[in-house]
Chain A
């Protein structure tokens, strides 16, 4: 971990962090729009309780402050990998069961899925730059969605999108810390000009 915090290329860290933050913000914006159309198309209420839906990575953490940079980024990476699987399931459920003719809606989900893939890749890049290497892809638990009712599918899709939105917020916060650290480090070693971070 110490080696990660003494990266020799803070400028690259900073630049990569900026890109990841922008991508996370973009995802959040798109997910917000998608949530609106999702709720409308599924006939749901945004206030509905989703506590009964499990299997979706939760963004909230109690002891977040004790995490190291690598742990933060690793948690982000694992979450977005899980979201790739979950979004794929949501997309397939919409195509097959719920909104088979709504191709525009499917395209919106597909777009977010692709952005999550890109975010996953960039987070892996950042971890590699920090000297940790890309963590192995942990095979997701083989779920058996065959018995899931349509109502559960709807709730699950809603929760996936909501949590994805929360994760993007958390990612922006985490990445700012990483970027700030890189800036401080770069300024101390004269590798990064002093400037105001507008991330």
Chain B
């Protein structure tokens, strides 16, 4: 029993509306109406008695006084399945079909049960019932998905549809009532759809797509392909896009989708293509007379595939026999149609259709005129002869009613021919043919093709090729032969040429050479291949020579030639003409020649003996072009022309020629035999024949001035304007004298040979013409005479002026007043106002008092060389005279004063007199004697030529090596930049008075002082010729001052 506590007050009443239901046959759910509201605090106790089965006692116990009331109520038990739920309801608008899926909830029950389902279809807004369908199923104890579909009579788009479902469980052992479940909630098909669904349209169409969606959703966008289109709002629950001029779609179609909010997508696919093209090149023919094969080209692709592809149907009227055709993805479509026994004429109509349209092609044929045989099969070739072959092949099909024409192709390496064979048709039979006129021992390739004979339509394909070699036959003719007698005539060598393959009729095994003397066989030789000559001893007799070629099948007819050589005299050698690919030879016709001419030649290759070759011509021939694969350009060949006379062969002529003439391979060797001052004698040698490469036509000599070792390029490349060319066409001439040349000049000579083929390489040499001796003598004598005359004149002048020279250059006692140098200085100071740098106005000559004279050993050679005038004409470093013993005795203080704006205070300004106490006094004003005891060793020396200054300075330098000290003791300083001079005269003193490092460089006084007071040792050691010239010039310049 189960207890249900209910608070009931008052006296309990029997429960009303008592009922119990179960959904799963496992659990019962009971319900009743409670008694009146006054009876609170009641407790219900429910007990089930299986025995009574239909009565259930129920007791009610009062709460407070524990009064219990027992009611027996008749049970109201029912089996009511759970309300089913529709899983999915979808619609296929193209087929007006609704698809319903639901779960049978079979797992609710523990065992198998029969279930019935009632599906109600309603439509319109008023939900009128369209149909009510019963559907039975079996519950298996597991959940199963059940399907059901329903097809409407009207398009589903026309109105709204609703579906609901309920269930009934037919449990036989349940004693209670069994009732239908509740109806499931009404379900409408998924109405989010895009229309039209999977439609096929023509390229270029304008298509409108609409999107239907449920309440609560909205359209985010609609796309055609990948492109969004503007939305056209159709209604509250539908939108559309319009796509114009659609283009052909891909095989899977173009997608149109509708994106919704909240996130959902629906779509459709549009297929855009073309209507089928008219089938092109419709052709129907039979191959076997069993079926007719029709083929065609579908034409323009439709861009539609799968279910939308083009479908072809072939009709044969008037029977209108319709054949489903095999379609292939290739461009060619074909199908087979049966041949009817008594029908010749067939009228075919081919229809092509797809969802966008259809097209037709028709063809009327006579099947006998449309025979295109299959490729001949099982093709075989055989032979047992040297000229015949048997062929056999197989063609499938029934050709009893027609004749066949077969073409046999026979080809070998150099020919091809076709042979047509007509034969009666048969059914699936072998066909045979034989061919003749084949060449013995020939290798042929055979193949065959066939067609109808009476009405030719098409050849079949060629069969596969088969090769065959015919049997051998005896050689067709004897070989070409020639003979050559030995010089003494004891033997004769017989030559023969190998037969051509077409003449040999097989493999030549040997040649038989027989010598006959008046029909009597003297000797026989069997010569195996590959030998092609043999020697026969004549033994003093001439004979008739016969040569026979042999192969496995037999012998050739004999070739005959006599061994007799007729004597010939005065045989000339002629030149042949090269034609580029052969040698043109002509000869004079000889009336005594009755059996033709033979032209024989020999081609040697390397060290091997030459191969004799020949060619025969009829008696009326007078020329020939000899060609041979062995001929090479630039090679000389010798030919012998024999005439065949009734009693033997006679040598008529020798011919020499080239197939093609080339330029000489080498240059001629040439030398210069004689040279003179205006001519050269050149000699050259012949070029060897093998190097000529053609008939020599002459030599070309180029010559022009040119030094050996200069450019090696040819004259023509240099384009020398003085180039002279001499063409020597007289081949007997081997020397040439070149005249009109210049003496003692180098010439370049270049000699080349040439043929018709061109000019050969060059060889050059250089030669120097001899000198013209008379001119040389004159050129020597004139300068010598001039020199002698000049020497005499100079001697005379010196003799006349000897006193002046002595006074000037070699006085007994040097007198400064007589010094030209001082005079010169004075002249400069007085007269040369043009020298702006000097500015020596006024300039008073200083008087020099010589306190002490030195011995005359100390020689002052030339005071003139320190002259500013001379200095201006001298290069700065060219002041040396070679002795290095110069004394400067002029002194010009005003120059220094003008150069130096602030002279030292202790120096007497404007001093006009300088007293030379001794040479050391030049340095005293600058140096305190007490402070410089080292230099006192010269203070007692009296007058010292300034020649010694450098010596003293060097001595002092050894005591005080610093440059500054050197400057202080340097005495007179030139006013030039000492730094500039430093390289040339490192001992040069610097002007103490000025202390000016930037002394005037252009001052002639300064320069002269530098030059002669402290002459650089370098120049002392290396007098140059310029000094000599300088001295001579001044010698003459100073002469008027005397």
0/1 string, B251-277, CB within 8 A of A gives 1: 111111101000111111100000000
CA distance A144 to B101 in the complex (A): 10
CB <8 Å contact, A98 and B251: yes
CB <8 Å contact, A49 and B259: yes
CA distance A155 to B194 in the complex (A): 14
CB <8 Å contact, B255 and A43: yes
CA distance A155 to B266 in the complex (A): 10
Chain B residue, CB-CB nearest to A98? B252
CB <8 Å contact, B145 and A43: no
B90 within 8 A of A: yes
B147 within 8 A of A: yes
CA distance A100 to B328 in the complex (A): 12
CB <8 Å contact, B259 and A154: no
CB <8 Å contact, A151 and B306: no
Q: How far is the CB of B277 from chain A (nearest CB, A)?
A: 18
B92 within 8 A of A: yes
Tell whether A151 pairs with B92 under 8 Å between CB atoms, given A98-B252, A99-B252: no
A contact residues around B92 at 8 Å (CB)? 146-147, 149
A contact residues around B194 at 8 Å (CB)? 151
Tell whether A52 pairs with B266 under 8 Å between CB atoms, given A100-B306, A141-B145, A147-B97: yes
CB <8 Å contact, A41 and B250: yes
CA distance A129 to B645 in the complex (A): 113
B226 within 8 A of A: yes
0/1 string, A136-169, CB within 8 A of B gives 1: 0000011010110111001100000000000000
CA distance A52 to B329 in the complex (A): 36
Tell whether A151 pairs with B99 under 8 Å between CB atoms, given A98-B251, A101-B305: no
Residue among A42, A97, A142, A151 facing the most chain B CB atoms (10 A cut-off): A151
CB <8 Å contact, B266 and A43: no
A contact residues around B264 at 8 Å (CB)? 49, 51-52
Tell whether A43 pairs with B305 under 8 Å between CB atoms, given A101-B329, A150-B198, A151-B268: no
CB <8 Å contact, B255 and A151: yes
B319 within 8 A of A: no
CB <8 Å contact, B268 and A98: no
A contact residues around B251 at 8 Å (CB)? 41, 98-102
CA distance A98 to B256 in the complex (A): 15
CA distance A48 to B814 in the complex (A): 130
CB <8 Å contact, A42 and B265: no
Mark out the residues of chain B between 41 and 95 whose CB falls within 8 Å of any chain A CB in the assembled complex: 90-92, 95
CB <8 Å contact, B252 and A151: no
Mark out the residues of chain A between 91 and 123 whose CB falls within 8 Å of any chain B CB in the assembled complex: 96-102
CB <8 Å contact, A151 and B257: yes
Residue among B95, B99, B257, B263 facing the most chain A CB atoms (10 A cut-off): B257
CA distance A154 to B90 in the complex (A): 17
Query: Interface residue count for A (Cβ, 8 Å)?
Result: 27
A contact residues around B145 at 8 Å (CB)? 141-142
CB <8 Å contact, B255 and A42: yes
Chain A residue, CB-CB nearest to B223? A45
CA distance A144 to B305 in the complex (A): 23
A188 within 8 A of B: no
CB <8 Å contact, B265 and A149: no
From B225, B252, B329, give the contact of A154 (CB < 8 A). Answer: B252
B contact residues around A96 at 8 Å (CB)? 306
CA distance A99 to B271 in the complex (A): 12
CB <8 Å contact, B263 and A49: yes
A44 within 8 A of B: yes
B445 within 8 A of A: no
CA distance A52 to B742 in the complex (A): 115
B293 within 8 A of A: no
Tell whether A98 pairs with B265 under 8 Å between CB atoms, given A49-B259, A149-B197: no
B712 within 8 A of A: no
Mark out the residues of chain A between 17 and 47 whose CB falls within 8 Å of any chain B CB in the assembled complex: 41-45
Tell whether A155 pairs with B250 under 8 Å between CB atoms, given A43-B226, A44-B255, A147-B99: no
CA distance A41 to B255 in the complex (A): 11
Q: How far is the CB of A167 from chain B (nearest CB, A)?
A: 23
Interface secondary structure of A, over-half rule: loop
CA distance A66 to B197 in the complex (A): 46
B307 within 8 A of A: yes
CB <8 Å contact, A45 and B97: no
CB <8 Å contact, B263 and A43: no
A contact residues around B147 at 8 Å (CB)? 142, 144
Chain A residue, CB-CB nearest to B99? A147
CA distance A102 to B264 in the complex (A): 30
Chain A residue, CB-CB nearest to B92? A147
CB <8 Å contact, A149 and B97: no
CB <8 Å contact, A51 and B305: no
Chain A residue, CB-CB nearest to B225? A43
CB <8 Å contact, A97 and B266: no
A contact residues around B197 at 8 Å (CB)? 149
0/1 string, A167-199, CB within 8 A of B gives 1: 000000000000000000000000000000000
CA distance A149 to B95 in the complex (A): 12
CB <8 Å contact, A150 and B269: yes
0/1 string, A46-61, CB within 8 A of B gives 1: 0011111000000000
B contact residues around A51 at 8 Å (CB)? 263-265
From A45, A50, A141, A146, give the contact of B226 (CB < 8 A). Answer: A45
CB <8 Å contact, B198 and A49: no
CB <8 Å contact, B263 and A42: no
CA distance A42 to B267 in the complex (A): 13
A contact residues around B253 at 8 Å (CB)? 43, 98, 150
Tell whether A43 pairs with B250 under 8 Å between CB atoms, given A150-B269, A151-B269: yes
Residue among B147, B252, B253, B269 facing the most chain A CB atoms (10 A cut-off): B252
Q: How far is the CB of A123 from chain B (nearest CB, A)?
A: 24
CB <8 Å contact, A41 and B252: yes
0/1 string, B235-257, CB within 8 A of A gives 1: 00000000000000011111111
CA distance A102 to B306 in the complex (A): 11
CA distance A48 to B265 in the complex (A): 8
A contact residues around B267 at 8 Å (CB)? 151, 155
B contact residues around A98 at 8 Å (CB)? 251-253, 306
CA distance A97 to B145 in the complex (A): 27
Mark out the residues of chain B between 165 and 193 whose CB falls within 8 Å of any chain A CB in the assembled complex: none
B contact residues around A154 at 8 Å (CB)? 252, 255, 269
B contact residues around A52 at 8 Å (CB)? 264-266
Q: How far is the CB of B730 from chain A (nearest CB, A)?
A: 87
Q: How far is the CB of A184 from chain B (nearest CB, A)?
A: 39
CA distance A44 to B268 in the complex (A): 12
Q: How far is the CB of A120 from chain B (nearest CB, A)?
A: 23
A contact residues around B257 at 8 Å (CB)? 48, 151
B contact residues around A101 at 8 Å (CB)? 251, 305, 329
Chain A residue, CB-CB nearest to B148? A144
B contact residues around A97 at 8 Å (CB)? 306-307
From B263, B269, B305, B309, give the contact of A149 (CB < 8 A). Answer: B269
CB <8 Å contact, B268 and A144: no
CB <8 Å contact, B226 and A100: no
0/1 string, B644-665, CB within 8 A of A gives 1: 0000000000000000000000
A contact residues around B99 at 8 Å (CB)? 144, 147
A contact residues around B97 at 8 Å (CB)? 147
CA distance A155 to B268 in the complex (A): 11
CB <8 Å contact, A49 and B254: no
Q: Beyond A43-B225, A51-B265, A154-B252: 18 further Cβ-contacts under 8 Å?
A: A43-B250, A44-B255, A45-B226, A49-B265, A51-B263, A97-B306, A98-B252, A100-B306, A100-B309, A101-B305, A101-B329, A142-B145, A144-B149, A146-B92, A147-B92, A149-B92, A150-B268, A150-B269
- Sample (20) of A-B pairs whose CB atoms are under 8 Å apart: A43-B225, A44-B255, A45-B226, A48-B257, A48-B265, A52-B264, A52-B265, A98-B252, A98-B306, A101-B329, A147-B92, A147-B97, A149-B197, A149-B268, A149-B269, A150-B268, A151-B256, A151-B269, A154-B269, A155-B267
Q: Give 4 nearest A-B pairs by CB, closest first.
A: A151-B267, A98-B252, A147-B92, A150-B269
Q: Which positions in B face A, CB cutoff 8 Å?
A: 90-92, 95, 97, 99, 101, 145, 147, 149, 194, 197-198, 225-226, 250-257, 259, 263-269, 305-307, 309, 329
